[in-house]
Amino acid sequence: MQGCLSPWTGKGRPPEELDGTGSDLSGLEEFDGTMRRFMSERRITAGSLAVTCRGRLVLARAYSDPAQDVRVAPASLFRIASLSKPLTATAVLGLVEDGLLGLRTPILDVLDLRPGAGLDREPRIGQITVEHLLQHLGGWDRDVAFDPMFRDHAIAEELNLPLPIARSDIRTYMASRPLQHAPGAIRAYSNFGYSLLGRIIERVSGRRYEAFVRQRVFEPLGVSRPALGRTLRRHRLPGEVVYHSAHEGRSVFEPGDVRVPAPYGAWNLENMDAHGGWVASAIDLVRFAAAFDVPAECPILSESMIPTAFGLPANLGDGEISPGASYYGCGWSVRDWGEGRRNTWHTGSLPGTYALLVRRWKGGLNWCALFNQRDDPSGMSYSDIDPMLHRAADRVERWPDHDLFDVYL
């Protein structure tokens, strides 16, 4: 079956020389060849792939460059960056389902967003609802203005604060900044909006964000590995990979122009908890994704709430959309083919991290691919892993009958 792959171009370590560990391939060689080829051409030193079919874990593999000090296993932990957003959104919808929060609750009914001394709060913040934050409709636009989650030095200077700054400092800074769009009007991806959802979870639940997500999302699935990551390499969690990037940046933990490797101090992972701070294995994430496969049996959201997670955003109204159209629901990108057939997915990207989680309606499939870098001298695209894995799935002639979830508790 690997004859379907294009000839080896000679970039990086040859695919067959990557260490591969985990389950037998059992007819899923196309996935193995795809991961090896993708990683070799981009000189990626650590990666992991997990695949489910109709709720069963049928593939769990990990790949690493044997020249590296850190070996990876199928249950190894990776930073997942924005794959944290579906976790946060699910926790918020759990609060809605429990009657503790409303989707149309104005965020100022829950949060006290106060600007710095002598500044006025942006008046339109009062129009932003919980639903707006879930669907990136809050009005902050990182493409038009900036992403405050990566503006530590500017925020510290404006507020006259020492480094490192805290999430509360970012909220103070943003409370007076003008919105780029009217709330509810235009989808504009906002890490800051999801950071606010983390604070809403804490205020409404009375628990720390991490503890609540563990209790509401992971414990019903029997999942215990995911945790909030930390920035510095010396604080790496047990079983966590080492991250690589061709870039460095200015440290956000000390004054001056101290240069550090981009994944280890050029931004503050602790401040990114609800929008990008989780560390997890590919196995954990496909178990989460597969929980939605049969809505009537979902252990984390009710059958009636799941359509809210994947439904049309508020700015598109209740009208019909063309088959194959895409949009952003509550924590998920969605491509809707009609009659309940939806592909849902999310990517995650930070210096040192590229992650992809896919739920594919055709065949009842879910997969997650995690890597320990997102840039390299080849200049090749990392988003190419998405169509490559879809092609690998299309080439499978017979899906295995086994279930490996019990192997990786």
Is 70 exceeded by the pLDDT of residue 79?
yes
Q: What is the pLDDT of residue 319?
A: 66
Q: What is the pLDDT of residue 11?
A: 53
253 phi/psi in degrees, rounded to 5: -110, -10
Indicate the pTM of the whole model. 0.95
Q: What is the pLDDT of residue 12?
A: 62
Mean of the pLDDT values across residues 139-158? 94
Percentage of the chain beyond pLDDT 70 is 96
Tell me the three state secondary structure of residue 305. Answer: coil
pLDDT digits (tens, 9 = 90+) for 355-399: 999 999 999 999 999 999 999 988 999 999 999 999 999 999 999
Mean of the pLDDT values across residues 212-239? 97
Tell me the three state secondary structure of residue 371. Answer: strand
SS3 content of the chain, % helix, strand, coil (to 5): 35, 15, 50
| pLDDT top residue among 104 and 315 | 104
* CA 372 – CA 37 distance, rounded (Å): 16
Mean of the pLDDT values across residues 295-312? 96
348 phi/psi in degrees, rounded to 5: -140, 135
Alpha-carbon dihedral of residues 278, 283, 288, 294, nearest 10 degrees?
A: 170
- What is the CATH architecture assignment of 77-276? 3-Layer(aba) Sandwich (3.40)
Mean of the pLDDT values across residues 120-141? 97
Q: What is the pLDDT of residue 150?
A: 97
Residues of the chain with CATH 3.40.710.10: 77-276
Average pLDDT of every residue of the chain:
94
* CA 393 – CA 378 distance, rounded (Å): 26
Mean of the pLDDT values across residues 153-163? 96
| pLDDT top residue among 13 and 145 | 145
pLDDT digits (tens, 9 = 90+) for 83-113: 999 999 999 999 999 999 999 999 999 999 9
Residue type, 190: S
Distances (CA, A) of 166 to 156, 273, 404: 10, 12, 41
Q: Retrieve residue 92's tokens.
A: 């918020």
Cβ-based neighbours of 75, under 8 Å, separated by 6 or more: 60, 225, 239, 281, 283, 408
Distances (CA, A) of 179 to 150, 166, 171, 265: 17, 22, 14, 28
The residue among 145, 112, 107 whose CA lies nearest residue 125 is 107
| pLDDT top residue among 144 and 62 | 62
Mean of the pLDDT values across residues 227-241? 97
Q: Retrieve residue 364's tokens.
A: 């009842």
Q: What is the pLDDT of residue 94?
A: 98
